[in-house]
Amino acid sequence: MGYCKLQIGCMLVILYILFIYYKECKRFKHKNKLTLFDILLGVGLIEVLFDGLTAYTVNHLDSVSDTINRVLHLIFLLSLDLFIFLLFLYMISITTGLPKRKSRRLLLYSPFLVNMVLVVINIPSLKYYEGELSNYSMGTSAYTCFAMAGIYIVLSLIIFFRRWRYIEKHKRFSIFTYLVVLACITVYQMLQPQVLLSSICVTIIVLGAYINQENPSVTELSHYQDEMIMGFATLVENKDGSTGGHIKRTTKYVQLLAEELRRRGYYKDILNKDYMRNLCMAAPMHDIGKIAVPDMILQKPGKLTEAEFGIIKQHADCGGKIIQDTFGHLCNESYAQMAYDVARFHHEKWNGTGYPEGLKCNEIPLCARIMAIADVFDALSEKRCYREAMPLEKCFEIIEEGSGQHFDPMLVEVFLDIREKVENAHREINNTLSGGN
């Protein structure tokens, strides 16, 4: 047992994380489907188990048959390879999201698949050596395992540093820690194969992922925060006689447009997973500044005077200040900044004639340019206290006419291309709000 004390300790830590994780998931009813972290956790436990078994058998060659020893080593090496590969996929999933194209997925999977085959083929040639601290095994199977780890560590570092700016700050440190720990232990294990430290690497990664990304209690708290934000946005919208339809429709239009941009490869370094989530949560806050506008102006059935319109225009500036002063202290920094940009700049125009700052072209944050199209389209397509709703055909025509003047021309082109999806969303949400009638 003395040769596998480290692995036993690591296994106890992972089992404790497993127990707490599923206990909290059951408490908050989060387990609807198997997640990548679930698989990572299970494979990590298997890797540590077989790391301990091989640490024992390689030091008891006289009492353990060669066949059993090689089978245990095969499972250990394959589980280690799989854990490293899953960690790579997990890192992508929590930052940019996994690619949807089969060709890109195949490119990511290829080194792993080749390595798995090489490990299996070369396991008969595995050799055992006597070290000062412990016996250990080496051979082509072990070398290919280290090579694959090196490939995915390098790929992970490239992705991480290329997209550093667009990864939320609270994730940067944890992801960087994963990569540094994995790289350092892998290199040290290659130089000193007798130290058998892979279990420490697996345990630190599992613990870090749980604490920083997967803790169900933190997820539940974030859910409550999202509900509070949506409730507040709906409350503000009710000031002008709406019943929540505007924020639901505009949020859906924003989501559809952003997803299509991402699918086409536009702004691929910006439209990562965190950005998409923050954008959909920031969209409902775009008119939060209307809480400072008198109801008599918001609900006026006739045309606004110049002075009244001037007061209406102040809602963009007020919205930005409200986000900074109130929600900025409750949310993560990336979300707070996006909510501020959406609230303050969604009335800026591509040609610089908008308000409150007269920004133009790419000076306007991308999230605000997306929001502008969704906001105007919905404002045109729904009945207001001062006019009737316009037909969707006319609404799309007005958006197209505003290309290069009011709106980013590239975003308009994409929005018009997803016209069918927008129309379906408009119909479905309205049917839901009207009780299906």
Q: Is the peptide bond before 301 cis (omega within 30 degrees of 0)?
A: no
Rg (CA), the chain: 28
Which fold would CATH assign to domain 218-433? Hypothetical protein af1432 (1.10.3210)
Instruction: Give the rounded percent of residues in the chain with a pLDDT score beyond 90.
Output: 33
Q: What is the pLDDT of residue 437?
A: 47
| pLDDT higher than threshold 80 for residue 373 | yes
Least confident of 30-34, 373-377, 394-398: 30-34
Q: What is the pLDDT of residue 30?
A: 65
The model's confidence at residue 310, banded by pLDDT at 50, 70 and 90, is: confident
Per the confidence metrics, is the pTM higher than 0.85? no
Q: What whole-number distance in Å separates Cα of residue 331 and Cα of residue 168?
A: 12
All residues at 6 or more sequence positions from 288 whose CB lies less than 8 Å from its CB, including other chains: 232, 233, 236, 319, 322, 323, 343
The model's confidence at residue 121, banded by pLDDT at 50, 70 and 90, is: very high
| H or E, element range at 138 | strand 136-138
Q: What whole-number distance in Å separates Cα of residue 272 and Cα of residue 94?
A: 9
Q: What is the pLDDT of residue 402?
A: 95
Written as six digits, the tokens of 138 are 């080496």
Which fold would CATH assign to domain 2-214? Rhopdopsin 7-helix transmembrane proteins (1.20.1070)
| pLDDT higher than threshold 50 for residue 34 | yes
pLDDT 10s digits, 132-152: 777 888 888 888 888 888 888
Q: Which residues pair with 322 in a beta bridge?
A: none
Question: How far, in Å, are 168, 234, 357, 393, 408 from residue 275 at the CA level?
Answer: 9, 22, 24, 31, 19
Written as six digits, the tokens of 217 are 């209690």
**Closest C-alpha to 73, from 128, 15, 26, 131:** 128
Burial 366-396 (b: 16+ CB within 10 A, else e): bbbbbbbbbbbbbebbbeeeeeeebebeebb
Tell me which residue has tokens 């609270």: 170
Between 12 and 213, where is the model more confident?
12
Q: Which of 268-272, 285-289, 373-377, 426-430 has the highest mean pLDDT?
A: 373-377
Between 175 and 340, where is the model more confident?
340
Q: With H, G, I as helix, E, B as strand and everything else as coil, classify residue 196.
A: coil
**Closest C-alpha to 213, from 165, 178, 186, 180:** 178
Q: Are 419 and 396 in contact (CB under 8 A)?
A: yes
Q: Largest Cα–Cα distance in the chain?
A: 95
What's the average model confidence in pLDDT over 65-69?
A: 91
Q: With H, G, I as helix, E, B as strand and everything else as coil, classify residue 105.
A: helix
Q: What is the pLDDT of residue 375?
A: 93
Written as six digits, the tokens of 345 are 């700049």
pLDDT 10s digits, 288-297: 888 888 877 8
Domain boundaries, the chain: 2-214, 218-433
CA of residue 426 relative to chain centroid, distance: 26
